[in-house]
């Protein structure tokens, strides 16, 4: 049987990109010491906002802006409660997910049932996109290419710039960072808002680049996977991409194996992503040193900035 593996890679890449975008945002937020569990909620807000914008005739750039802003609006609520009012980050993040899910399904009622009038379509890089197996990596839509650029930028920013150093020190020890004269509150707000913008962009990706529609709960739990990917990657941007590809790939593989008629139980195939998660989590916790080295020490702890 002649079986091409390229469509499998394409499917894995398509599934990985929105996860990558959302996880990068959360990674920056967590590097600043804040655990925002509201990714799913912010993604849904971004997805709806961009879909509504396109439906009312806005061009794609404006729709993306709406998606970013909607995600940031959710993040701002999170910031106000956790940074300024020192509320519990876990509880606030969870509420944000519930809030985002509820608001988007309520406001989205009238938008169910038709295709997005404008959407992001793949742009192939000549020659490279015809390569076997890795070809799909060169046939992304603009948001997909943007995800790659953002990943490189975040990696560079965190590792090589003063701003990145400031962000990391805020996440390690806000007390020391403040003593050094860093504006802890301002940096944390910036990080949280960036996380919201990326979640909004990931939502936009689902609504306008991948599914091209609005339905309630469109992101179907992928915000949680993005959160898990950050831990999976031990807070390093490059590894987020590997994790996203792996997760997208494992899900796609389970479905793809069914179509080529491999005699493996579909129940076993359906549990592949979860098995992979268990294996990865076990292998990560085996390397305690790496965990301790990269996990922001002040993650999730409230900090009172007395100015």
Q: State the residues that interact with another protein by CB under 8 A.
A: 3-4, 6-8, 10-11, 14-15, 105-106, 108-109, 112-115, 206, 210-222, 251-252, 255-256, 258-261, 263, 265-267, 270
Residues 6+ apart with CB under 8 A from 109: none
| Token pair 């390690």 in the structure block, residue | 172
Distance of alpha carbon 281 from alpha carbon 96, whole angstroms: 26
Minimum CB distance to another protein smaller for 173 or for 222:
222
Least distance from C-beta 251 to another protein, angstroms?
A: 6
As measured in angstroms, the least distance from the Cβ of 74 to another protein is 19
**Rounded to whole angstroms, how far apart are CA atoms 43 and 69?**
11
| Closer Cβ to another protein, 159 or 278, answer by number | 278
Cβ 191 to another protein shortest distance, Å = 27
- Nearer to another protein by C-beta: 32 or 211? 211
| CA pair distance 53, 116, nearest whole angstrom | 10
Strand partners, 139: 124
Min dist. Cβ of residue 14 to another protein (A) = 7
3-state secondary structure 73-104: HHHHHHHHHHHHCCCCHHHHHHHHHHHHHHHH
- Nearer CB in complex with another protein: 189/214: 214
Q: Which helix (H) or strand (E) holds 13?
A: helix 6-31
Q: How far is the CB of 255 from another protein (least distance, A)?
A: 4
Least distance to another protein, CB of residue 270, Å = 4
Q: Please give the Cα distance from 42 to 20 (Å, whole number).
A: 15
Q: Which is nearer to another protein, 36 or 251 (CB)?
A: 251
What are the helix (H) ranges across 56-183? 60-79, 89-107, 142-160, 162-172, 174-179
Count of all residues that appear for the chain in the document: 307
Collapse the DSSP code of 40 into the 3-class scheme (helix H, G, I; strand E, B; otherwise coil) and give the result: helix
By beta-carbon proximity to another protein, the closer residue of 192 and 250 is 250
Least distance CB 105 / another protein (angstroms): 6
Residue 126 or 263: the one with the smaller Cβ distance to another protein is 263
Q: Which of 227, 252, 167, 247 is nearest to 22 (CA)?
A: 227
State the Cα–Cα distance between residues 184 and 83, nearest whole angstrom: 10
């Amino acid at each position: 049987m002649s079986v091409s593996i390229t469509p499998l890679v394409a499917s894995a890449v398509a599934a990985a990109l929105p996860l990558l975008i959302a996880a990068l945002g959360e990674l920056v937020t967590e590097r600043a010491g804040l655990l925002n569990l509201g990714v799913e909620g912010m993604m849904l807000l971004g997805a709806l906002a961009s879909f509504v914008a396109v439906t009312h005739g806005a061009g794609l750039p404006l729709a993306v802006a709406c998606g970013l802003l909607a995600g940031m609006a959710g993040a701002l609520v999170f910031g106000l409660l956790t940074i300024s009012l020192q509320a519990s980050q876990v509880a606030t993040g969870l509420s944000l997910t519930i809030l985002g899910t509820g608001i988007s399904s309520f406001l989205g009622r009238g938008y169910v049932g038709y295709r997005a009038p404008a959407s992001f379509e793949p742009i192939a890089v000549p020659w490279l996109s015809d390569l076997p197996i890795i070809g799909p990596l060169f046939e992304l839509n603009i948001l997909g290419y943007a995800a790659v650029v953002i990943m490189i930028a975040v990696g560079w920013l965190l590792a090589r710039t003063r701003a990145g150093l400031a962000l990391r020190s805020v996440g390690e020890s806000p007390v020391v960072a403040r003593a050094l004269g860093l504006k802890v509150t301002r940096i944390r707000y910036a990080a949280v808002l960036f996380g919201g913008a990326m979640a909004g962009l990931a939502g936009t990706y689902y609504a306008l680049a991948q599914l091209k529609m609005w339905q309630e709960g469109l992101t179907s739990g992928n915000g949680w996977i993005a959160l898990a990917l950050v831990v999976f990657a031990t807070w390093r941007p490059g590894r987020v991409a590997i994790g996203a590809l792996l997760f997208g790939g494992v899900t796609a593989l389970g479905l793809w194996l069914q179509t080529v008629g491999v005699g493996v139980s579909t129940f076993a195939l359906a549990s592949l992503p979860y098995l992979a998660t268990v294996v990865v989590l076990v292998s990560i916790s085996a390397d305690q040193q790496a965990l301790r080295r990269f996990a922001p020490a002040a993650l999730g702890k409230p900090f009172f900035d007395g100015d």
